[in-house]
A and B are shown apart, each in its own frame.
Chain A
């Protein structure tokens, strides 16, 4: 018998601002995307709003030990813990589990540039590289790059020390982090989890990875649904999202207020060929969202805007639920890679609590691989 899983806290930070409320305009049709087309021109990004780090990361020493992706994540995790009424509850935090979806941290761009400039004329390039790296890298930079150190920093700053696991792998690790947490809670392998991810899009090194495959959108902002016809592409977004998820019994016992019920989280990773993504989305829907009612529900799609997979997902959703509204989270805060699915689920849960709808399906189709889907209902 699987146990009922509730979302009892959400923490969301994006280009739209801090907290779920500032994002709710998306469901009134009144929320314009916030993009910066200048700073990384010709690339467009949804930049994170400036945050008062002190509000969630009390010690300056901790702030200095982190690069922006970690700070965004630790900040959003703090918001989620606050929302769940768990902040500062040492006993609870000491047994709270964590699953974090993470990539890696940023480079020291100046050092990289200097090395690349100098190595061209170095007598022995390998020796030159050794000498420069040994003398120019900040010793603690490594800790700001390591994937599992977002979780490590959350443990240090907020005291979440049940145990942490970090999943990697772009969009899909955000789906699987929530899927595994949901499965473990349902099966009695843990009562309360903090799950989420963070992404800093304002980084030339990550733009570089996607530009090599020419996957980035370089024109004026356009909806993800309109991009495939113009060649397609995604606009990276900075942000972070964390969710506190727990069993209904656990939440009730500690007097926590539910945001929404997390009914199901499913994922798959099919070999991509024409039609495969659409078929995968339909299969995931059958497995998880059979009880979705379009009259009182909404679909939040994490579609990227990349040609092919975006139309396939849209087509599958239109076939499954012709009448249901489909909101693109990419049009709200851009594409946050690892954090996109947790952010979509956080937004859906908040909208359910605020009575925008009673049910939601959140989808994810990774830019390269992986498909996922969550089904949420009002409590």
Chain B
């Protein structure tokens, strides 16, 4: 009879047995970890498209994964594939093309992009003013049929599912900038329900094109301190002025702990708790009281069967926008109380930028590596501390620390707040 481990609430325990990631710092966990702990930035001046006329000209794009010509769903799919290959390879689960579980994947919302619109306009033969009637006329030739599937919202998930042989109907999801965390949460819930013994949870985002950047720019969300690029992302600093867009992907193989033990898998860590809370205050801003953020943090810790005292490191959402960092600090100090000033909290986004849809998954992998390696990645570019944020942000340099419980925060437009708690083995 196999062992029957359960958490404090009598639920199956969710282990992580494989992880993969790719960001502007490189492909793979090892390369990313080395760069993150060296305090290196992946932010650079954009070369993918012209930057003349833009207020923000920098991003953490992934330029070493060739997708020519660039197209967001294609790069997002490539990044997800790289991360999933690494994660499944490490987990050594199933057989190639036959992953024994479900897929939950956070993908950026897709849409037709300008090169395609321009091609349709040209094919229409219209010499005068172009309207959508002309584009529709060109579409009707059938010459552009493959673009139908390319720009469906479910296609990236379908292709990942087919490639890795995941089971059932794959879920594509978005909770804006907390999407990666939500993918993990959905996977945790499926395993706790006993519905599946393994889950492939992915967050991916390769969507930095001109219009995507301009949209955030028009909402005044982006840093405009373009020179030098690697110093633009300044989470928790007094002179922070917005986030920097980034690209990347991360994949985690989640597995019923007993299932993982039975097959002799190496346990990389435990997803102990998940918390979430909606906020109906405003489309882009948090409730001034911080109540929803506080509730999400508190719920994640409670769902792990722990108290705030157990948290010994926080992987911050830490976007570097004036609003986010202020509200996140409020949430953390409220839940952790007097202890908050002694609990290190750092932002990976200071180095890789905000990988948007992927961020929650990328930061989950970094959180688990922090536990495994006993070293805290820093918040770089921290030269002007914000006196209203009295936290230990692990400024500028990595630090050794024994960590057994990490809180990872993710917050997004539309009132999305999702927090995860990761712990080390052994489970108790």
Interface centre among B107, B111, B140, B280 (most CB of A within 10 A): B280
Decide yes or no: A164 and B211 within 8 Å by CB, A208-B135, A212-B144 being known contacts.
no
Most buried by B among A152, A170, A189, A267: A152
Give the Cβ gap from B230 to chain A, nearest Cβ, in Å: 23
Point out the residues of chain B lying under 8 angstroms from A140, CB to CB: 219, 283
A269 surroundings in chain B (CB, below 8 A): 158, 161, 168-170
Within 8 A of A (CB), among B148-198: 148-149, 151-154, 157-158, 161-162, 168-176, 182, 186, 189-190, 192-193, 195
Q: Do B415 and A204 have beta carbons less than 8 Å apart?
A: no
CA distance A134 to B56 in the complex (A): 11
Interface window among B88-96, B246-254, B271-279, B311-319 = B271-279
| Contacting pair A205 B172 (CB below 8 A) | no
Cβ contact within 8 Å between A156 and B145 = no
The CA of A210 and the CA of B51, in the complex, are separated in Å by: 33
CB distance from A332 to the nearest CB of B (A): 24
Contacts of A26 in B (CB 8 A): none
Q: Which residues of B contact A167 (CB under 8 A)?
A: 171-173
Asked if A146 and B161 sit within 8 Å, CB to CB, the answer is: no
Interface check B49, CB cutoff 8 A: yes
Contact A137 B218 (CB under 8 A): yes
Across-interface contacts of A207 in B (CB, < 8 A): 136
Interface status of B64 (Cβ within 8 A of chain A): no
The answer to whether B186 and A209 touch across the interface, beta carbons within 8 angstroms, is no
With a CB–CB cut-off of 8 A, which chain B residues contact A165?
173, 175, 182, 186
B310 part of interface (Cβ distance < 8 Å)? no
Interface residues of A in 110-167 (CB under 8 A from B): 112-117, 119-120, 124-127, 129-131, 133-134, 137, 139-143, 145-149, 151-153, 155-156, 158-167
Complex: chain B residue closest to A149, CB-CB: B414
- Cβ contact within 8 Å between A187 and B121: no
Q: Does A219 contact B (CB under 8 A)?
A: no
A268 contacts partner chain B, Cβ-Cβ < 8 Å: yes
Segment with Cβ contacts to B, from A11-19, A172-180, A229-237, A243-251: A172-180
Say whether B148 contacts A126, CB under 8 Å: no
- The winner among A124, A146, A162 for most chain B CB atoms within 10 A is A146
B359 to chain A, nearest CB (A): 14
**Residues in B whose Cβ lies below 8 Å from that of A163:** 276-278, 296, 416-418
Nearest CB of A to B125, in Å: 12
Does A184 count as interface, using CB distance less than 8 angstroms? yes
A124 to B50, CA, bound (A): 9
Report A213-269 residues with CB < 8 Å from chain B CB: 213-215, 267-269
| B214:A133 contact, CB within 8 angstroms | yes
Query: B332 to nearest A CB, angstroms?
Result: 19
Q: In this assembly, does B35 line the interface, its C-beta being within 8 Å of a C-beta of chain A?
A: no
A155 touches B414 (CB 8 A): yes
Check: B424 CB closer than 8 A to any chain A CB.
Answer: no
**Which of B112-120, B255-263, B375-383 touches A?**
B112-120
Indicate if the CB atoms of B149 and A156 lie closer than 8 Å.
Answer: no
Cβ-defined contact, A109 with B132, below 8 A: yes
In the bound complex, do residue A169 and residue B118 qualify as a contact, i.e. CB atoms below 8 Å apart? no
B219 touches A142 (CB 8 A): yes
A113 contact from B131, B217, B278, Cβ within 8 A:
B131
Given A130-B50, A209-B152, A146 and B413 touching (CB < 8 A)? Answer: yes
A173 CB → nearest B CB, Å: 7
A33-49 toward B: CB 8 Å interface, digit per residue (1/0)?
A: 00000000001000000
A155 CB contacts on chain B under 8 angstroms: 278-280, 414-415
Asked if A271 is at the interface (CB within 8 A of a chain B CB), the reply is: yes
**Cβ of A112 and Cβ of B172 under 8 Å apart?**
no
Query: Using Cβ atoms and an 8 Å threshold, which residues of chain B touch A267?
Result: 168-169
- In angstroms, how far is the closest chain B Cβ from the Cβ of A91? 14
Residue count of chain B within 8 Å CB distance of chain A: 84
Closest chain B CB from A115 CB (angstroms) = 8
Task: Select A130's contact among B129, B153, B170, B210, beta carbons within 8 Å.
Answer: B210
Which residues on A sit within 8 Å (CB–CB) of B175? 148, 164-166
Would you call B139 an interface residue if the criterion is a C-beta within 8 Å of the partner chain's C-beta atoms?
A: yes
Q: How long is the Cα–Cα vector from A131 to B415 in the complex, in angstroms?
A: 31
Question: How many angstroms from the CA of A162 to the CA of B282 in the assembled complex?
Answer: 15
Assess the A152–B276 pair: CB atoms within 8 A: no
A160 B280 Cβ-Cβ under 8 A: yes
Q: A113-B129, A368-B149 are in contact. Are A146 and B415 (CB under 8 A)?
A: no
Which residues from B are CB-within-8-Å of A211? 136, 139-140
Contacts of A159 in B (CB 8 A): 280
Answer whether residue B215 sits at the interface, using C-beta atoms and an 8 A cutoff.
yes
**Selected contact of B416 from candidates A43, A142, A164, CB within 8 Å:** A164
B49 and A147: CB pair below 8 A? no
- Provided the pairs A130-B50, A165-B173 are in contact, do residues A189 and B192 lie with their beta carbons within 8 angstroms? yes
CA distance A119 to B168 in the complex (A): 44
Within 8 A of B (CB), among A171-198: 172-173, 175-176, 179-180, 183-184, 187, 189
Which parts of B8-61 form the interface with A (CB within 8 Å)?
Answer: 49-55
Pick the contact of A208 from B112, B114, B292, B415 — CB < 8 Å?
B112
Across the interface, do B174 and A147 meet the contact criterion of CB distance under 8 Å?
yes
Q: Give A3 Cβ to nearest chain B Cβ, in Å.
A: 12
| Residue in B144, B174, B176 whose beta carbon sits within 8 Å of that of A168 in the complex | B174
Contact check, A112 vs B117: say whether CB atoms are below 8 A apart.
yes
Which residue of the partner chain A has the closest CB to B281?
A: A156
User: Which residues of B94-135 have CB atoms within 8 Å of chain A's CB atoms?
Assistant: 107, 109-112, 114, 117-118, 120-122, 128-133, 135
Q: A143 touches which one: B189, B195, B280, B283 (CB < 8 A)?
A: B283
Assembly CA distance A156 to B292 (angstroms): 13
Tell me whether A130 and B112 are in contact in the complex, defined as CB-CB below 8 angstroms, given that A119-B118, A143-B413, A167-B171 are known contacts. no
Say if the beta carbon of A98 comes within 8 Å of chain B.
yes
- 4 smallest A-B Cβ distances: which pairs? A169-B154, A152-B414, A126-B50, A204-B132
Sample of 9 further A-B pairs with CB below 8 A, known A102-B174, A137-B214, A165-B182:
A117-B130, A130-B53, A142-B216, A152-B413, A155-B415, A164-B414, A164-B416, A168-B107, A212-B142
Can you list 9 A-B contacts with CB-CB less than 8 angstroms, sorted by A residue number?
A: A109-B131, A120-B121, A140-B219, A142-B216, A145-B109, A166-B174, A169-B158, A180-B186, A269-B169
B interface list, Cβ under 8 A from A: 49-55, 107, 109-112, 114, 117-118, 120-122, 128-133, 135-136, 139-140, 142, 144-145, 147-149, 151-154, 157-158, 161-162, 168-176, 182, 186, 189-190, 192-193, 195, 210-211, 214-219, 276-284, 292, 296, 412-418
